[in-house]
Structure 1
Amino acid sequence: MEPMKPEVTTPNTKAVKPKILYYGTPVVLLNTWNEDETTNISPISSSWALGYTVVLGLGVGGKALENIKRHGECVLNLPDPSLWEQVERLAPYTGKDPVPDSKRSMGFSYQKDKFRVSGLTEAASVTVKPSRILECPLQLEAVVKHIRIPEHAPEFAVVETEVLHVHAHERIVLGEHHIDPAKWSPLLYNFRHYFGLGQALGKNFRAER
């Protein structure tokens, strides 16, 4: 007689087609270099890091992509949850003039001075021309290595960057070169809503303390 297998309860699922797949990724305030040698700020929510390579997803009609095609430097500023309102103040604006029809139809308007409308503070970078955002606990100076437009999604650009210099607020630094995960919480964009991290659950076997 075969042993009885434990009963497994399978959650009910449903096939869905969300309009967007922002399933919970960190917000990045991407700073790029304008033609007049000022800095543009673009809030983005599509990025991932592999070592010191950070891949970004950008819309092809935005000022950020236009700027990095012309000048291949940028700063990736990572806000914490306390900055969500400043991030949202930037959301309805574009640095592109005239405003593309696709953006205008979604309610975007032109704004040149993103620092003023957001209330964020500009700080000089060390290795690149675009400035940093002082309030963001992590600020990554980077250069653009590759830009690709997917054939199946020509409205987006996949941008590979190499991080050259990392600035971190002292309060989140552990020892000399480690970011303390107990003190650093990224601002998450979760299906067009803002969230912070919850309580820590545990750590990976490779985590250092």
Structure 2
Amino acid sequence: MHRIHELKVMYFGTPVVLIGSRNEDGTADLAPMSSAWWLGRCCMLGLDDTSQTTANLLRERECVLNLPSSAMADATAFQVEVVRVHVEEELIIPGTDHIDPLKWDPLIMKFCEFFGGAGNLRPSRLAEGWNMPHGLRQPV
């Protein structure tokens, strides 16, 4: 069951990426995001599948990824206020406003593959071109 909770800290930090794509009418679309994972020439983008940028990428099959310098901070990111956070009750440390990092199991991209619970969940399409070994030993 989810519980609405006030968290003391909520930070997920990754580089800001500006995704340039082309709208159906040929005009430019530029969207900021901060969930991109890189390995060589491959990049995994975390996008909402209902966004205009996603529609453009699926249609056009191309985009431009821009990594702005820190001098461009005022021109790139939206600052929003989080008004509500839903957290599974069992993730909250009792009597606190903190998520228990030992209980939280986020989906993580490690070396081209999806991991959770310290185990390899499944390979990603990024792994195919890198000949990543599969059947990795699970921790005992």
Normalised by the size of structure 2, how large is the TM-score? 0.48
Normalised by the size of structure 1, how large is the TM-score? 0.33
Please identify which structure carries the higher strand content. 1
- Which of structures 1 and 2 has the bigger CA Rg? 1
